[in-house]
Amino acid sequence: MTEADVRAALASALRMIAPEADISHVDAEADYRLVLGLDSFDFLRLMQSFHAATGIDVIEDAYPKAVSVRGLTDYVRSVKATSS
């Protein structure tokens, strides 16, 4: 899964959670929760929606890494590498 794929999955999930949020302009290494004004409940729903869309479960221990597009991409790649 590429960084563009992760960004697209997040954008799709955000449309349901925070329709005004536009992740396309957020730097890949920035904490998108802060940039987009997401609270902890929004973030939890975002991770659940990401899982539903991609089949990749972002475990709670990975949340600190998953707050940036790049960090989430790295997490997804590591999960896929260990499951192969």
pLDDT computed for residue 83 by the predictor:
83
pLDDT computed for residue 7 by the predictor:
95
Q: What's at 82, amino acid-wise?
A: T
* Tokens 């089949």 belong to residue: 55
Each domain of the chain, given as residue ranges in start order, spans: 3-83
Cα dihedral 67, 37, 1, 53 in deg (nearest 10): 120
In terms of pTM, does the model score above 0.85? yes
| Residues whose CB is less than 8 angstroms from the CB of residue 17 and which lie 6 or more positions away in sequence, other chains included | 38, 42, 45, 46, 49
Name residues of the chain where pLDDT drops below 50. Answer: none
- Superfamily the domain 3-83 falls into: ACP-like (1.10.1200.10)
